[in-house]
Structure 1
Amino acid sequence: MMDLPRPKLFDFHGVSMITYFTDNWEAIQNFQARPDDILIATYPKAGTTWVSYILELLYFGQTSPERQTTMPIYERVPFLELTFPNMDSGTDLADQLPTTPRLIKTHYPVQFVPKSFWEQNCRMIYVGRNAKDNLVSFFHFDRMTVAQPEPGDWNSYLQRFLEGKMVFGSWYDHVNGWWKKKQTYSKLHYMFYEDLAEDTGREIDKLCSFLGLSPSAEEKTRVMSGVTFDNMKNNAMTNYSTDPSMDFKISSFMRKGKVGDWKNHFTVAQNEEFDEDYKSKMKDQTLQFRTEI
């Protein structure tokens, strides 16, 4: 798989994409959601695996403990739009899930979500992460996986981010599009990576309230322990070390999991430029991100 050429970005219905997420478009758009499906949506590198694992443990940690040690997280929570050569597509994996509910993840902007999810009134969880940390995490991810376009150097990557020339498009469009949807779709729970990092227990309580779950104190403690960054980073079933498209010699998939790591990457000039651009693009004052906690 490491021999595969890196994909090229192209415009797809107004969003920068690569073929791995568009080749199966018709099957994705015709995907049949079920009323109890739970869709986990994020911009890439915003806490997808973290929230996926929290939900996986809440729902199946006790009833199917063997899943935790035998199946990587990307099989337990299929990536709906992924279509990779010689692998089951995300839609196939989702269709084959034996669990109820089915946990399914997507990085699609809100307008690309298959209509059956809305028609079935499915619950959705969106995780947003502040733009600076999200950008840094995406940069290191793109360096270590052949499934993404060549990142280039840090400065050119930052410029690409500002232009929205990223896989899955503009971060601004993504977080704002889902935020706007939350105002009209009541079954959407919008979370923030920074809140989760600050107080994981509090955010799990909010999640449980949204999902109608009431885990025992003992169960909640078990979930909290499983989803700490260090435990997930050292867990072969959650750290993506079994994914052949990633080169862990360049970077680990779960790198730092910190809020504020952007300060180790941005120069003063880059930060000023970024802040100016951010102000012009983030018009909705009700959507606020924290760049430190």
Structure 2
Amino acid sequence: MSENHELIPRSVLIPIEGVLLADHIAKNYDAVSAFCPDPSDLLIATYPKAGTTWTLEIVDLLLHNGDLEICRRAPIPVRTPFLENFARVGIPSGLDLLATMDPPRVIKTHLQFHLIPKGFWENKCKVIYVARNAKDNLVSYFHFNHMNLTHPEPGPWEGYIQKFMRGQVPWGSWYEHVKGYWKERENKNLLFLFYEDMNENPRREIERIMRYLDLSLSDDVISRIVEQTSFKNMTTNPTVNYSFIPEPVFDHSRSTFMRKGIVGDWKNHFTPEQAGAFDEDYEKKMKEVNIPFRTQL
């Protein structure tokens, strides 16, 4: 590890209403909670590494009629502020950015349902939630936590599985996260999407998002958005691939921000014993909901 890596301390996790958040977020959570959105604002919520950036880019292109140049006007965290993030190297404060922007705004969050500022529900803002199956989400988050030097050290794979299962990672329990939004999907103005569906048929899911946003774009424009948001094109787009984040924050030699973008990579990581123990624990934690996740296509 180079000396530069010591410039930014790794986060310490602090519980807020039962959810572990990085200390710089937890200490400022009251300000986040008090944020009052405009009714025209759109919130995109995910557990980390569940297709967040992909969805943000799709939405930005939909809102700008597929104009790639407009959607390269700034890096993705500037175009779509990260609500609870407070300024770190390379990523501006979400609340500071939002204060400078006129509605309607597209806002990103990883907060669990019960931590979302109440104004989003009171103002009936549109909310898109993207969920990814637990095993693939765990694998992607493991690699991300290795390259994100501001997150707590993830440690070895075997131990990380246990941390993930116990919710001892930034933004807490995957299980509680997806259940919270799933249970409220019909009570709120909420579009619930699956990463696996987006991977299987991106055009179909992009059209679902378009209709939810009350937009009507031509087939040619939709085709262009499908092409521009393919994994290949996303990885080479400097405004979304997070290559703009400096090394003291993201160590791109450990992993790229966008690593594989596939369904089923968990099979390359879990041993049969680990998969069996994980599945048994999963059944206990998810028994009261029937969320149709797929772990392979």
Global fold match (TM > 0.5): yes
Query: Which deviations, in whole Å up to 9, do the C-alpha atoms of 1:152-196 show, x marking residues without a partner?
Result: 0000000101111111111000000011111311x1000000000
Letter of the 1:46 partner, please give it: A
Q: Secondary structure at the match of 1:126?
A: strand
Q: Please say if 1:253 is aligned against 2:271.
A: no
| TM-score of the superposed pair, with normalisation by structure 2 | 0.94
Say what the alpha-carbon RMSD is for the aligned residues: 1.5
Q: Secondary structure at the match of 2:267?
A: helix
Letter of the 2:148 partner, please give it: T
Q: Secondary structure at the match of 2:263?
A: coil
Q: In 2, Cα distance between the equivalents of 1:211 and 1:172?
A: 28
Is the 1:131–1:171 contact (alpha carbons within 8 Å) kept by the matching residues of 2?
yes
Q: How does 1:229-240 map to 2 (within 5 A)?
A: 229-240=231-242
Q: Which residue of 1 aligns with 2:117?
A: 114
Q: In 1, Cα distance between the equivalents of 2:234 and 2:86?
A: 25
Q: Which residue of 2 aligns with 1:141?
A: 144
What is the CA-CA distance between 1:121 and the residue it aligns to? Answer: 0.5
Query: Which deviations, in whole Å up to 9, do the C-alpha atoms of 1:34-73 show, x marking residues without a partner?
Result: 111000000000000000000000002557x544234111
Q: Secondary structure at the match of 1:169?
A: coil
Q: How does 1:13-162 map to 2 (within 5 A)?
A: 13-61=17-65, 66-85=69-88, 88-98=92-102, 100-162=103-165
Q: 1:171 aligns with which of 149, 169, 174?
A: 174
Q: In 1, Cα distance between the equivalents of 2:254 and 2:66?
A: 36
Letter of the 2:241 partner, please give it: N
Q: In 2, Cα distance between the equivalents of 1:10 and 1:145?
A: 18
Q: Which residue of 2 aligns with 1:272?
A: 276
Q: Which moved more, 1:26-35 or 1:248-257?
A: 26-35
Q: Where do 5+ consecutive residues of structure 1 fail to align?
A: none
Percentage identity across aligned positions?
Answer: 46
Q: In 1, Cα distance between the equivalents of 2:66 and 2:208?
A: 20
Query: Which deviations, in whole Å up to 9, do the C-alpha atoms of 1:225-281 show, x marking residues without a partner?
Result: 110001000111110000121111110000000000000000111000000000111
Q: Secondary structure at the match of 2:294?
A: coil
Is the 1:23–1:83 contact (alpha carbons within 8 Å) kept by the matching residues of 2?
no
Query: Which deviations, in whole Å up to 9, do the C-alpha atoms of 1:110-145 show, x marking residues without a partner?
Result: 011111111111000000000000000000000001
Q: In 1, Cα distance between the equivalents of 2:16 and 2:33?
A: 14
Q: Please say if 1:191 is aligned against 2:193.
A: yes
Q: Where do 5+ consecutive residues of structure 2 fail to align?
A: none
Q: Please say if 1:262 is aligned against 2:258.
A: no
Q: Please say if 1:291 is aligned against 2:256.
A: no
What is the CA-CA distance between 1:25 and the residue it aligns to? Answer: 1.5
Q: Which moved more, 1:100-109 or 1:18-27?
A: 18-27
Q: Secondary structure at the match of 2:221?
A: helix
**1:197 and 1:85, CA in 2 relative to 1: closer, same or farther beyond 3 A?**
closer
Q: Which residue of 2 aligns with 1:181?
A: 184
Q: In 1, Cα distance between the equivalents of 2:201 and 2:16?
A: 38
Is the 2:14–2:26 contact (alpha carbons within 8 Å) kept by the matching residues of 1?
no
Is the 1:76–1:97 contact (alpha carbons within 8 Å) kept by the matching residues of 2?
no
